[in-house]
Structure 1
Amino acid sequence: MLQIALWKRVAILAAVLFGLALAMPNAFYTRVEGHNDAVQAIEATGATTPELIAKRDAWPGWLPSGLVNLGLDLRGGAHLLAEVQVDDVYAERMDGLWPDVRDALREQRAEIGTIRRRDAPVGELHVQVSRPENMAAAVAAVRELARPTVTLTGVGASDIEVRGEGDMLIVQLSEAEQQATRDRTIQQSLEIVRRRVDEVGTREPTIQRQGADRILIQVPGIGSAEELKALIGTTARLTFHPVVSRTANPDEAPGTGNVIYPDIEDNGTYYILEKRAVVSGEDLTDAQPGFDQNGLPSVTFRFNPAGARKFGQYTSENVGEPFAIVLDEEVISAPVIREAILGGSGQITGNFTVEDSTQLAVLLRAGALPAELVFLEERTIGPELGADSIAAGQIASIVAFVAVLVFMGASYGLFGLFANIALLVNVGLIFGLLSAIGATLTLPGIAGIVLTIGMAVDANVLVFERIREELKSARGPARAIELGYEKALSAILDANITTFITATILFMLGSGPVRGFAVTLGLGILTSVFTAIFVTRLMIVIWMERRRPKTIAL
């Protein structure tokens, strides 16, 4: 008998209603988007302005509010391709290694004589020794500083290579350490960029590695590529240095162990600072925009216990001395230490606007980039192009939809109408699932939906054709429908499982547009099988129970 248990009917109906409820906010996209932004702003800042309250109340809070995020090609935004300057990291590693190398060689002074550091290519450390005949002792002493290279596959070779050429001792990173350093730098850069973008609340950015040392950044909804570059292109390396003196001459020799940095105001003032920082931004745990005692924008910060201890100790020992706050080799301010700062927190003041202080706080919270980013490609995609893409996608979807509806209605009559209703439900369920998982819809994703519309009726066609065959065997309508579903089930599953496997492979191995296509195709397969096997069948069963036809015109 053609029957569906009551609990199955309730479960099917509940699944359909739940999926359509999740999809419903997309029909009121602008209103729901404003509601979500207002709720997020109120939770983040505690502000309850009339404008925010009005946007929040424009959509009932008890209704679903998840939206399908629009990708860069639909919403507009910024596209950047950046190259990470990994060589800078190699140079920093050599600079950091020099004090240890110097100390190790000084212990061998009796054998190797005096030492002097010389200029060297990026990523190398050159040390000249006065007694090259004992170079082997110098090489052996420096090799004692080597440490194993740690990679994802375990512990490998030494991190440095040491050799002697004439009177020159040459130290450089090993190939394994260079590769490990490059991977760590790229991964850290990816994470820092992602944090900075997430801090400003953009939806579904694409941030991924390309090649050996490049990062692709696509952020929908942001105003321009310049705005995005200003957000993520700053290294944001914050350090605190003792001040040696001030000068108006940028070419003045700072002296051994010192550096000369300009004032950020570009007022012709330069500061000679001790090169070694007392505290760095790595010790920061939080940074927030605020206002100083004069009501001017500022940034308050807080150190971790280690940073607070170093900061407190230095300020205790240097009351009355100037102390420079340096951001990316520019002096933000150089206040005089009035008293010991023991609480582990402080305030950065300067000629800031509210926007400047907010952006600086975002950069400091996200952390400093390990290396400079050089932008090789940048594009701003206007919302007009996105609107054109959406319009083109809508036209394609409508044409495909109407063509399928007409074909099914003309080919299968009333059963075709049932299949068309199931097709409408299927599209709604696709958008419901996209909203539930927070997926991003791109132009290739729309192509996946259009393809799904054509594929969605395949299962119904298989069932209906099988029912026709059973009716030709002089079986009754109920039995023919039951056998049609039973015998077509294996073919439906086989066809859709193979396509779903293809979509899964595209998602795992593809990137960007390919993954967007794979997501909508895979979800469309799941919903089309559900609607064909359960929704269409439920409608047919209900119709059969009410009409009890003796024959079926199929």
Structure 2
Amino acid sequence: MLQIDLWKRVLIWAVCAFGLLMAMPNAFYERVEASNDAVAEIELGYTGNGLEEQAAMWPSWAPSSLVNLGLDLRGGAHLLAEVQVADVYEARITSMWPEIRDMLREERATIGTIRLQPSERDELRVKISKPEQIDRAASLVRGLARPVVSLTGAGQSDINVSVEGATIVVNLSEAEKLATDERTVQQALEIIRRRIDEVGTREPTIQRQGADRILIQVPGIGSAAELKDIIGTTAQLTFHPVIGRGTNKDANPGAGNEILPSLDEEGLYYTVESAPVVTGEELVDAQPAFDQNNTPAVSFRFNPTGARKFGNYTAENIGSPFAIVLDGEVVSAPVIQAHIPGGSGIITGRFSVEESTNLAVLLRAGALPAGLTFLEERTIGPELGQDSIDAGKIACIVAFMGVLVFMFLSYGTFGLFANIALILNVGLIFGLLSTIGATLTLPGIAGIVLTIGMAVDANVLVFERIREELKTAKGPARAIELGYEKALSAILDANITTFITAVILFAVGSGPVRGFAITLGLGILTSVFTAIYVTRLIIVIWYERRRPKTIEV
């Protein structure tokens, strides 16, 4: 006989009620979104500007999780960036000069004087005055080599040291270059993610593509240019000793030095040592602030290593200028007035409040290890996204109505039961999407439309099986029971294979393909639940009330 325990009935209806409750905020999308944004700002300490009124637009006790809209639905910016990994080779080689110089100076009595020679970007040339001691000098430099930190480069050194006459040539080994490429792209990926998270955008897509490219898609941002301003700035902050300054940018700076333009004063150029004393990698915090003249500035603080370097240098160079360089431009070059032991300071310049805030964000997120070249950029307007949403709504409604009409005409009362389960099914899909914070894309809408068509498959199998059992002169209750029992294996087989396909699409796909896989996979789960449990429960309740002698499916 048809029988479902009371606790099972309560559990089934509780799952349906919870799913619909979680899906409910999506019916008031703009109101809930505005309330969530206001609550987030209030939690950060902001007040005023009607934030309290906006936060009160949605009850605090009600669920407020929304289905995140993807780039193609909300509009936003799409960028494909290439990481200039070769820049890192130059920076790495340049940073080795102070260490090589100090070590060779200690052996000056043996090898003679040393001099840095002009060289290619990715190599370092050091000439000594006693050519007969070149092998000893090269041996000392080789002692600075370190093992390559990577699985593929295990057991190899990070630098190659060769000899050309009285000159030592140092460059990175191929194994180290490969390991550096991998680290650089991964670091760039993480820093881009941190910068975008600082801005507070919803559900950005940041993925590696190929060896040195990064795909960035950010819904809800105004334009690709705005996104480039956020992530395209390298924000390489370095501190250099100043050799001199002037107006001739083409002057010979000398080996180991470089000429950099002033950010504030056009036509003014500084000659600084190429090797920095401290870099922005040793920053632990940066905040917008105001200087003694009450103009916008950025305060910063170093970690213990950076603080020690900064303190030692300022103690030894009181009265000398010190250049603060941001992305190859001298922001300021103050004269060191006293020893600065605390590892903190302030960057002044002709900043607006917005510029100082953005610079602090960039410095906090960290400097990009290399520059980015943008190979592709697109701006998707919100109007186009709204058109996609409207088209998706129409597709869903047409599919929904078509299935409802077909099921009712084909199966009568039982078709009506299947239609009720189908409505619950769509609600459960949106409830699950909201609960897990999934992103809905245009292919995701296609997955929902496909799910609507597939959702009745299980009911069709059951109803057809019940029809077959009724022909064997069994009673209605027994026919319904056998119909569900014998159709169960076919239902599970069909949906498990489709679910495996959805899992594979999610695992190997990216972006829109994943959006389709998520909605398809969740749709399969809710379809099986509503077909096996919800429709059956509705039929059982109907049968217990009516007790029909015969049924017509």
With normalisation by structure 1, the TM-score equals 0.93
Distance in 1 separating the partners of 2:94 and 2:273:
15
Task: Look up the SS of the partner of 2:9 in the other structure.
Answer: helix
2:40 is aligned to 40
1:450 is aligned to 449
1:408 is aligned to 407
2:204 is aligned to 205
Could you tell which deviates more after superposition, 97-106 or 247-256? 97-106
The 1:324/1:104 distance shift into structure 2, 3 A limit, reads closer
The 1:248/1:168 distance shift into structure 2, 3 A limit, reads closer
Structure 1 position 21 matched with structure 2 position 21:
yes
Quote how far apart the aligned CAs of 1:316 are: 4.4
CA deviations over 1:461-517 (Å, ceiling 9, x no partner): 111111111111111111111111111111111111111111111111111111111
Structure 2 unaligned regions, length at least 5: none
1:184 is aligned to 183
Task: Look up the SS of the partner of 2:94 in the other structure.
Answer: helix
Task: Look up the SS of the partner of 1:376 in the other structure.
Answer: strand
Could you tell which deviates more after superposition, 474-483 or 228-237? 474-483
Q: What pairs with 1:167-246 in structure 2 (closer than 5 Å)?
A: 169-246=168-245
Q: Quick one: which amino acid aligns to residue 43 of structure 2?
A: E
Could you tell which deviates more after superposition, 280-289 or 220-229? 280-289
Quote how far apart the aligned CAs of 1:170 are: 4.3
Quote how far apart the aligned CAs of 1:277 are: 2.7
Structure 1 position 349 matched with structure 2 position 352:
no
Q: What pairs with 1:2-401 in structure 2 (closer than 5 Å)?
A: 2-44=2-44, 46-100=45-99, 117-126=116-125, 140-152=139-151, 155-164=154-163, 169-401=168-400
Identity of aligned residues (%): 73
CA deviations over 1:226-269 (Å, ceiling 9, x no partner): 11111111110112233343323323333454333222124322
Structure 1 unaligned regions, length at least 5: none
Task: Look up the SS of the partner of 2:260 in the other structure.
Answer: strand
Quote how far apart the aligned CAs of 1:403 are: 1.0
The 1:467/1:152 distance shift into structure 2, 3 A limit, reads farther
Distance in 2 separating the partners of 1:246 and 1:139:
35
The 1:124/1:341 distance shift into structure 2, 3 A limit, reads closer
The 1:338/1:168 distance shift into structure 2, 3 A limit, reads closer
Distance in 1 separating the partners of 2:84 and 2:292:
40
Distance in 1 separating the partners of 2:115 and 2:335:
36
Q: Quick one: which amino acid aligns to residue 324 of structure 2?
A: I
CA deviations over 1:396-448 (Å, ceiling 9, x no partner): 11111111111111111111111111111111111111111111111111111
The 1:362/1:319 distance shift into structure 2, 3 A limit, reads same
Could you tell which deviates more after superposition, 30-39 or 308-317? 308-317
The 1:339/1:383 distance shift into structure 2, 3 A limit, reads same
Quote how far apart the aligned CAs of 1:122 are: 4.2
Could you tell which deviates more after superposition, 347-356 or 417-426? 347-356
CA deviations over 1:271-295 (Å, ceiling 9, x no partner): 2334333322122111122333444
Structure 1 position 501 matched with structure 2 position 500:
yes
Distance in 1 separating the partners of 2:473 and 2:14:
36
Contact 1:333 1:350 in 2 (8 A): yes
Could you tell which deviates more after superposition, 420-429 or 101-110? 101-110
Distance in 2 separating the partners of 1:288 and 1:115:
42
The 1:497/1:86 distance shift into structure 2, 3 A limit, reads same
The 1:165/1:293 distance shift into structure 2, 3 A limit, reads closer
The 1:242/1:375 distance shift into structure 2, 3 A limit, reads same
1:468 is aligned to 467
The 1:93/1:445 distance shift into structure 2, 3 A limit, reads same
Quote how far apart the aligned CAs of 1:112 are: 8.1
Quote how far apart the aligned CAs of 1:103 are: 6.4
Give the CA RMSD over aligned residues: 2.6
Distance in 1 separating the partners of 2:521 and 2:3:
30
Contact 2:118 2:255 in 1 (8 A): no
Quote how far apart the aligned CAs of 1:107 are: 8.3
The 1:352/1:110 distance shift into structure 2, 3 A limit, reads closer
Distance in 1 separating the partners of 2:135 and 2:346:
52
Distance in 2 separating the partners of 1:163 and 1:316:
37
Task: Look up the SS of the partner of 1:155 in the other structure.
Answer: coil
Q: Quick one: which amino acid aligns to residue 64 of structure 2?
A: S
Quote how far apart the aligned CAs of 1:162 are: 3.9
Q: Quick one: which amino acid aligns to residue 536 of structure 1?
A: T
The 1:72/1:408 distance shift into structure 2, 3 A limit, reads same
Contact 2:148 2:176 in 1 (8 A): yes
Quote how far apart the aligned CAs of 1:6 are: 1.1
Distance in 2 separating the partners of 1:334 and 1:308:
19
Could you tell which deviates more after superposition, 285-294 or 113-122? 113-122
Quote how far apart the aligned CAs of 1:60 are: 1.0
Quote how far apart the aligned CAs of 1:153 are: 6.2
With normalisation by structure 2, the TM-score equals 0.93
Distance in 1 separating the partners of 2:294 and 2:137:
59
Contact 1:108 1:137 in 2 (8 A): no
Distance in 1 separating the partners of 2:55 and 2:399:
37
The 1:63/1:78 distance shift into structure 2, 3 A limit, reads same
Quote how far apart the aligned CAs of 1:349 are: 2.5
Structure 1 position 535 matched with structure 2 position 534:
yes
Q: Quick one: which amino acid aligns to residue 214 of structure 1?
A: R
Distance in 2 separating the partners of 1:305 and 1:116:
32
2:419 is aligned to 420
Distance in 1 separating the partners of 2:309 and 2:163:
39
The 1:241/1:109 distance shift into structure 2, 3 A limit, reads closer
1:459 is aligned to 458
Contact 1:111 1:137 in 2 (8 A): no
The 1:50/1:447 distance shift into structure 2, 3 A limit, reads same
Distance in 2 separating the partners of 1:415 and 1:170:
84
Distance in 2 separating the partners of 1:250 and 1:525:
67
Q: Quick one: which amino acid aligns to residue 47 of structure 2?
A: T
Could you tell which deviates more after superposition, 415-424 or 93-102? 93-102
Quote how far apart the aligned CAs of 1:296 are: 2.8
Could you tell which deviates more after superposition, 300-309 or 225-234? 300-309
Q: Quick one: which amino acid aligns to residue 251 of structure 1?
A: D
Q: Quick one: which amino acid aligns to residue 520 of structure 1?
A: T
Q: Quick one: which amino acid aligns to residue 259 of structure 1?
A: E
Quote how far apart the aligned CAs of 1:168 are: 6.1
Could you tell which deviates more after superposition, 399-408 or 309-318? 309-318
The 1:418/1:28 distance shift into structure 2, 3 A limit, reads same
Distance in 2 separating the partners of 1:130 and 1:272:
26
Quote how far apart the aligned CAs of 1:89 are: 0.9
Distance in 2 separating the partners of 1:394 and 1:329:
51
